[in-house]
Structure 1
Amino acid sequence: MAGIYIHIPFCRQACHYCDFHFSTNLSKVAELVDCLILELTLRKDELKGEKISTVYFGGGTPSLLSSSQLESILSSVKSHYSIELEEVTLEANPDDLNPQQLEEWKFLGIDRLSLGVQSFQAEILKFYNRSHSADQALNALEISRKAGFEKFSIDLIYGFPHSDHGLWKKDLRIALEQDPGHISAYSLTVESKTALGNWTKKGKFTPADEDYVAEQLEWLQEETQRAGYIQYEISNFGKPGNWALHNANYWRGVPYLGIGPSAHSFDGKTRGANLASNAKYLDALGSGELVYEIEEDTPGDRANELILTSLRTIWGLDLKAFAEKFGIWLKEEKEREIHKFEQSGWLIQEENTLSLTPSGMLLADSIAAELFV
């Protein structure tokens, strides 16, 4: 099985924590759609006949596309790839949804909506420069359910600096009351090329400290578990049977094809990415040329990446499979480090699998770094 990720790097508003290239030029969106369809055609043999089980429209804002544009892209997927679809996901802004549009998406076979809620608090939404309100986010879920959608993912951001954790606790309470079945929650990060990055550099914004952010993640873990959600990856929480399939497959190393500017791909062995520049992508595909470049990783790079990504998940790191792939028996190579993390209550070793405890997930990057080969 494999997946296809289709990146739509256009948004209506520039979020302060995001570094997309923004545009409301609908002619450019139409040009992008033509290029996406061409790229799907040109790269049809890369997955070597693997059946496509998931399609994910990500962004940016895929909900900017018309239903006919989405249909054209999906028709290209069905024409050029072996299909056995289990889930088709579309990322959407809460204020983009209307009953007619939802009905059209459902007709196209889109069956999971990933809603960029971020927060239900007016002051936080204003700070993030989001165009929707909390009421619009709640309404988006209501009208989507009326349209027949049953699978949702809600995106939330924690770590917003405040005097206490009250705002985050309210956000999480409201989200769980809506019972979406799946929540993706990310820590607020400061990227250098964003408005937030510039504010931080000039002293106009001070990010929350690590302990404050960790406390919010701990609260997230406790409350989602109490509500019947499973943390199957550090940032992803889903009820049994409602995990986001494309997302879960990504973390389990299932091959996927990334289409569009800056989209990444993985064929099961090697990774690569398209150019990040929208303009260069459009120019190249307009001339019938691909902009995909394979990443030149060493075996050590690939081994360390597997350690890092595997430890982020509920499935953990399969030591036997790791040894077969890289010729390294990590249980012996890193015996001292593994024992230390077990004693600290951060790591569990069961037969030939290493996995992090909930408290260990707070330190995932640093733990993985000590296990790197």
Structure 2
Amino acid sequence: MRIDDFRMLARERIPPHIFDYIDCGACDEITSRANRRDLDEIRLLPLCLRNVADLDLRTSLLEHSFSFPIGFSPTAFHRLVHESGEVSTAKAAKTLNIPMIVSSMSSIALEDVVRGSANENLWFQTYIFKDRALTKDLIQRAESSGYQAIVLTVGCPVAGRRYKNVRNRFALPDHVVAANFKQRKVVVHNNPVHSVDGAELDPALTWNDVEWLRGRTSLPVMLKGIMNPLDVQPALDLQVSALILSNHGGRQLDTTESTIRMLPEVAAAVSKRTTLLIDSGFRRGTDVLKAIALGADGVLLGRPVMWALAAGGEKGVIDAVGLLLEELRIAMRIAGCQSIDEIRKNSSAIIRG
């Protein structure tokens, strides 16, 4: 079995318009395809006879030790695919001892995700909305509920165009809501996030607004959506705790470069001065090895988590990550790398492309 098998199972088990909502990218989906194509085109050059009997996959993020460098990117509305929604996903993350970023557009209230999962190491994702009071309230709720970091999505001044959603006239079913917000009877087929009361994106945002958000919380702040090396220094000037290299799975601006192609440039700009995570298109253990070798501290999964949740709930998510982890172990052994640090140390020798 492989991660894409969970995609096929999800396709069989959820209505087509919901599958399309999860699966689709922006416009012609060029970036969505490029994320996979570019990962596939990078080649590995294994090292032999390196004693890889005992592997060490542990990694430290935000001063917390995780079992391996894989986590969950923020995705909205988990109850679209499973009745327990984000609670089941957070339970899986706790069992696996990996980070999970809970979306502000979760279908279960952020407080209930913590209580229901007993996961004490969740991170909370938000935007800076036009309604600053609402933004501030979300941050304070997350901090009071025990979240360990605030993940601010940047690079989305407006919503990307998703034609599959428009053609399907997509709308959330009655039992699925953005549980952290008040509801209003407005349907935006392109993206249901923008049917939510108060969840208006602000195209006037600048780096000053990131500084404003940092002043509203004592939690570490991470920025998700960095794609251009020119944005690294302004972020570092604000002393953010991590950057997430992300084109949002190709769901925002189509024809954006793939994240794996931008990783070496962004990693060089970061120069190990803060944590650097990456998402968008990761499906294989070899993908994770490539990302670590090219400068990432960890890889985050988006769509595969939703596919696995649809296919088997909490156990499905655990099983899917387990497959990816086993592939990573095999890849490390055959590539001749005993630890995450050795992948980095041997990067110039084992990567081509």
| Structure ranking higher in strand proportion | 1
The TM-score with structure 2 as length reference comes to: 0.45
The TM-score with structure 1 as length reference comes to: 0.43
Using CA pairs below 8 Å that are at least 6 residues apart, which structure has the higher relative contact order?
Answer: 2
